[in-house]
Amino acid sequence: MKIGRWVAAVTLAGALLAAPATQAADRPVRIVALGDSLTAGYGLAANEAFPVKLQRALAAKGLATDIANAGVSGDTTSGGLARLDWSVPDGTDAVILELGANDALRGLDPKVTRGALDAMLRQLGERHIPVLLCGMLAPRNMGAEYARAFDAIYPDLVKAYGAILYPFFLDGVATEPKLNQRDGLHPTAAGVDVIVAKILPAVERLLAKVTTDARKTQ
């Protein structure tokens, strides 16, 4: 992970692995990808967005999913919290939560970001919906204290709620010119392919958790 190069670019602009996930025989696993422009597919064709390509990659492995794209460009964690109930409808089996990049870019108080993510994880937990939390890193021009406070949010909340952590959503893509659009912040279609390939094992863990939790309720 090229963290140093990523933060510079931002400044400028196994327990469940033991068995692969299986879904109910009668329907695919219903996942909501709740995020910002990185999820929505800013600057890309609809079929090049992260949720679409992820669903396709899972299908290639024999895993049937229905992944809803609940990405909103420019959204913050507070915005995600405000729309959580209607973005994650009843019947959702799991959530991939990708929010926080815009909070960091705007220099929002990390306490606000933490509070919004905490509330979302708590509410989803109350609804018994497993979560894959996608981490983000703060721009270092905000100072070391800000970076420490922001970066710690994701691992801290995963420990508190038992969610699955993918440490850095843009791992392998950030600051790579050929994998980013001209703004240097949003991935190209090829960049999305890299994200999907890297996050796939974590998503398989999420699906395995859905299966395990469903068996416990039977």
183 is catalytic: yes
Catalytic residue among 36, 75, 87, 186: 186
Tell me whether residue 186 is one of the annotated catalytic residues: yes
- Reading the block at residue 4, the tokens are 């140093």
Closest CA to 48 of 204, 171, 191, 199: 191
- What residue has token string 């919290």? 81
Q: Is residue 73 annotated as a catalytic residue, yes or no?
A: no
Which residue is catalytic, options 85, 109, 156, 183? Answer: 183
Determine which one of 36, 37, 75, 103 is catalytic: 37
Catalytic residues: 37, 183, 186
